[in-house]
Structure 1
């Protein structure tokens, strides 16, 4: 159970690129990183507008001389300080992630990056090689993976509670972009522009979230081939899709489906994952993250609750406030960030083995997300045909 004791020898000196006043995601990064006192925000290049970024940084109590106009100026200046930053989080539009992450690694910094890590598998592999050469951690913010019951599902599947895994059904299908809302919302405009969003909209923006949950729950399951069909129901978004269906075949015989959508009118989030085995099934829904549905064939369905003693130890390790009190996305992100800090500290001590045991969405997760999107786009562009997973 997490009780607030310091988990690292001293807080990691940390900065942000992006995440400024108008950011949709900047605050949850800061809240998660600072909650357990494992990071200390000491610098930032918070906004594309230097003055606006400086004003925002000052209101976060960052020293004026450490509120920078751009990320490269920050990396250069901080490298000359004895108390310079050790890690950086990247909370900028997708098209900037590769360049900023690469520059941060060259500067010897650990990185936490919004997904997607980059646009192509070749870029992802370049970042992976650079991170390995520098001995740095690259974390990717698949924030839903920090919920405790995801770890419970992983432990149950590993223990054989479900039997042989047959089917994985995934979706992240909300309705908030069922109309062309980007016309009046600058923070949405870049998400549907290939220059900034890359080769995909909903596959990369929401589809990779349940995909990563499946990878956490079923780490040995590997995709053999897939088929993707994608649509642009709001025509101005073409060639980027606002809806997509993916069918997957896995090595060993299991099959999976994933529905990613921003036009599921009326749906709040609609992110669910259901894993079906020969004996039983599990289902988790992010709108009810404190419950895991466990259905054994021939028996009444059970609702497993977060924080209860009947859960596996892995699920209780990240408990913060005991059973009965609902926890949400801020706690889940905090669980990821404290694990990022532990991994960074381990790498700084040369203990890559320890860093590899912490269950974080790391550079491998980032590479796999990019690889999956690339294969989905290839399948769709070939006319929704089956393609071998390359």
Structure 2
């Protein structure tokens, strides 16, 4: 269990690009990064409107002269300071991620980027190469992976508790955009604009979240072999971007997978689940009940495992912040990912290897490739395409 002791010797000097006034995702980033004292928010370019961004930064107790009008000025001016930033989080609309991440890496900064980290595999390859060249750490914001029961599932699969994996059923299908809410919500409007969102809406916005959970839990040798995708725009004004998509996948080794990505699942609160079926047993995790993991063996009653219990793997209890029975949630999960970000930065700057898994640039590239292949399949009429 984590009792609030420090995890890095010195807090990482940290900045944000975006995440300003009215940004829900910005608040989640700050609350999670600052929770364990691994980071200090010392600078930022919080808003496209410089005056509004400065006022917002000052409300966060960031010094006025370190609230910058844009990310270019932020990186250039902080590089001149002996106490300049070491890392930056990018919490801006999709179409800006690639250029900002590229500039940050070139400025010698470690990067935590909202997903998708870019629009296509060519850009993803460029970022991967830049991470390799600079030796900097890049995280992609798959915050749900920080829930402890995901680690429990990962260890159960690795230990063969489920047997050979046969089926991976994933979904992130909520109903909050079942009508054209973007007409009155700027935070949604850019998500359905191809110029700002990229080649997809829900595939990239929600579908890649359970996809990464599967990537984190499944053996590395389980790679997607080919996929078939059908996508729809039930709200006509969203065309050519989809608000619903069904994706079938075949893995190397014979397993199959399914991802339902949707924002028009009317009545659904969240609809984010992953079920992994093996030859001996199955596990299922639901983001609305993140402190539990269902474990089902054929012919036996269903077992519900709970966070913070002694019967779990030590890796699954290492990040507990409070005893069992008390619910933990999204902020704790994101904080766990940010904690890994801080530790990875510290190890890297000491020249030591990072010996734990995390959603890095490779995971970001995989998400971009998956969306690209889904769009390719759907736009050809829903055909199988090689991965």
Question: What TM bracket, shorter-length normalisation?
Answer: over 0.9
Equivalent in the alignment of 1:231? 232
1:112–1:141 Cα contact (<8 Å) kept: yes
Equivalent in the alignment of 2:349? 348
Counting only pairs closer than 5 Å after superposition, residues 70-81 of structure 1 correspond to structure 2 as 70-81=70-81
List per-residue Cα deviations over 1:304-343 (Å, max 9, x = no partner).
Answer: 0000000011101111101111000000000000000000
List per-residue Cα deviations over 1:98-157 (Å, max 9, x = no partner).
Answer: 000000000000000000010001101100100111010000110100000000000001
TM-score calculated relative to the size of structure 2:
0.99
Distance in 1 between the 2:122 and 2:44 partners? 29
Equivalent in the alignment of 1:283? 284
Q: Are residues 1:212 and 2:248 paired?
A: no
Q: Are residues 1:362 and 2:363 paired?
A: no
User: Number of matched residues?
Assistant: 386
Equivalent in the alignment of 1:148? 148
User: Shift of the alpha carbon at 1:64?
Assistant: 0.4
Equivalent in the alignment of 1:177? 177
Distance in 1 between the 2:29 and 2:219 partners? 26
Equivalent in the alignment of 2:380? 382
Distance in 2 between the 1:187 and 1:315 partners? 35
**Unaligned segments of structure 1, at least 5 residues:** none
Equivalent in the alignment of 1:314? 315
1:173–1:269 Cα contact (<8 Å) kept: yes
Equivalent in the alignment of 2:134? 134
TM-score calculated relative to the size of structure 1:
0.98
Distance in 2 between the 1:242 and 1:193 partners? 12
List per-residue Cα deviations over 1:71-101 (Å, max 9, x = no partner).
Answer: 0000000000000000000000000000000
Q: Are residues 1:12 and 2:18 paired?
A: no
Distance in 1 between the 2:3 and 2:31 partners? 17
1:24–1:187 Cα contact (<8 Å) kept: no
Q: Which runs of 4+ in 1 moved over 3 A?
A: none
Equivalent in the alignment of 1:123? 123
SS in 2 for 1:25: helix
Which stretch shows the higher mean deviation, 215-224 or 109-118? Answer: 215-224
Equivalent in the alignment of 2:274? 273
Distance in 1 between the 2:209 and 2:300 partners? 31
SS in 1 for 2:309: coil
Which stretch shows the higher mean deviation, 213-222 or 97-106? Answer: 213-222
Q: 1:126 to 1:330 in 2, by over 3 A?
A: same
Counting only pairs closer than 5 Å after superposition, residues 36-75 of structure 1 correspond to structure 2 as 36-75=36-75
List per-residue Cα deviations over 1:225-257 (Å, max 9, x = no partner).
Answer: 000000000000000000000000000000000
Computed over aligned residues only, the root mean square deviation of the Cα atoms, in angstroms, reads 0.6
2:16–2:44 Cα contact (<8 Å) kept: yes
User: Shift of the alpha carbon at 1:160?
Assistant: 0.6
**Unaligned segments of structure 2, at least 5 residues:** none
Distance in 1 between the 2:357 and 2:323 partners? 22
Distance in 1 between the 2:347 and 2:134 partners? 14
Distance in 2 between the 1:134 and 1:205 partners? 28
User: Shift of the alpha carbon at 1:376?
Assistant: 0.5
Distance in 2 between the 1:194 and 1:133 partners? 31
User: Shift of the alpha carbon at 1:46?
Assistant: 0.2
